[in-house]
Structure 1
Amino acid sequence: MIANSVTRWSRRIGLAAAMAAAAVPSWAATDAQGGGGGGLPQLDATTYPTQIFWLIVSFILLYVIMSKVAIPRISDVLEERQERIEDDIETADRLRGEAEAVKAEYEKAVADARSEAHALVRKAMDEIAASHATAEAEAAKKTAETTKAAEARIAEQRTEALESLKSVASEAAAEATVKLTGIKVSDAKVGKAVEAAMQGGA
């Protein structure tokens, strides 16, 4: 692409230089003859050899200058521009790759953070459930212990009440027997009778 562009430009410049070289000796010949002729100097057959000579000389000089100075410089500029464009494209590709890598790392970090958050939530819920289960077990244990202690106290109080009732009933039965029959019965017999009556009533 660069070589084709340089070739096209060299052809255009060479054509312009040839036209300029053809005009220069004609103007010089006209001035040498006193100037101010009525015809076109380029059509004067007597000046053809001079025009051809100077055309060849000018073309060779311009070709040498173009091939040694102008075209290498143009080629260097075009190559430098092409290298800069290729470097820019390479840099853009590298930056795109880095951006994609950063995006992938960001998405991975977000996914890891999300999974870690879910794991923490599940762990917290499991701990709360375990704490509730432990609290319920302790509450049930305390309730059972309290119920057992209350039942023991009730049984003890019932026993004490029965003993007190037995004593009161024995005294009342002994007094009633004395009043009714005039016979005093021993406390042991009265106690046995009251106990037998209480057991029969139960």
Structure 2
Amino acid sequence: MFVELAANEPNILRIDWVKFTFGLLGLFLVYVFVARKAIPKIQKVLDERQDAIEGGIERAKQAEAEAQETLEQYRAQLAEARQEAAQLRERAKEQGAAIVEEMREQANAEARRIVETAQAQIENDRQQAVAELRSEVGELATELATRIVGETLHDSAAQSRVIDRFLDELEQRDQAGVR
């Protein structure tokens, strides 16, 4: 029964050369199409990706190198700026000290001027007081001499001599008493 069935059925191992030729021709056409059109496009896309990846890595390395260079420049500028700031602070301290010294000198000069002016004023006031006292003492001495002697000293030359002599005697007593 098995043999009978096998005889009625077509042989599946038998090759139909027409179908095989058209199939092989179709496979060849697909291969040619893929090899000429698809594979170059695929290869191009793969090359572009590889270039993009390698270029990206290269660009990243360049960017990193530029960033490092920029960082070094920034650090150098920062160090320079710090040095300039230190120099400016030092100059400002020196200028401040100079200004303080100048103001101190001006204050001392002003104080000396005020003291000299005050001393001159005191000397003027003392001389004026001495002159006024001499005048008052002279008048009192003249009046007293007039009362004691009993005569009027109308002569101004005589009056001046009596007053000067009296004041000289008073000064000599004061100086002898002080020493």
Q: TM-score range by the shorter chain?
A: 0.5 to 0.7
Aligned equivalent of 2:115: 147
Q: Deviation at 1:76?
A: 6.9
Partner Cα separation in structure 2 for residue 194 and residue 76 of structure 1: 133
Runs of 4+ aligned structure 1 residues displaced above 6 Å come to: 74-77
Does 2:149 align with 1:190?
A: no
What's the TM-score once normalised by structure 1's chain length? 0.57
Give CA-to-partner distance per residue, 1:140-175, whole Å, 9 cap, x none.
111111110111111111012112211221221222
Unaligned runs of 5+ in 1: 1-33, 48-53
Does 2:139 align with 1:166?
A: no
Partner Cα separation in structure 1 for residue 110 and residue 9 of structure 2: 137
8 Å CA contact 1:170, 1:190 repeated in 2:
yes
Partner Cα separation in structure 2 for residue 86 and residue 179 of structure 1: 135
Aligned equivalent of 1:181: 149
Query: Aligned ranges for residues 127-138 of structure 1 at < 5 Å?
Result: 127-138=95-106
Aligned equivalent of 2:85: 117
The counterpart of 1:126, out of the listed 94, 109, 113, is 94
What's the TM-score once normalised by structure 2's chain length? 0.63
Q: Deviation at 1:85?
A: 3.1
Partner Cα separation in structure 2 for residue 171 and residue 198 of structure 1: 17
* Cα distance change of structure 1 residues 184 and 140 upon mapping to structure 2, 3 Å threshold: same
Q: How many residues align?
A: 151
Partner Cα separation in structure 1 for residue 99 and residue 8 of structure 2: 121
Aligned equivalent of 2:57: 89
Give CA-to-partner distance per residue, 1:58-114, whole Å, 9 cap, x none.
xxx8xx97xx879x8577766655444332222211111011111222222233333
Partner Cα separation in structure 2 for residue 35 and residue 114 of structure 1: 105
Query: Aligned ranges for residues 1-16 of structure 1 at < 5 Å?
Result: none
Q: Between the two proteins, what is the percent identity of the paired residues?
A: 24
Partner Cα separation in structure 1 for residue 49 and residue 152 of structure 2: 143
SS in 2 for 1:137: helix
CA RMSD of aligned residues (A): 3.7
Unaligned runs of 5+ in 2: 1-6, 16-20
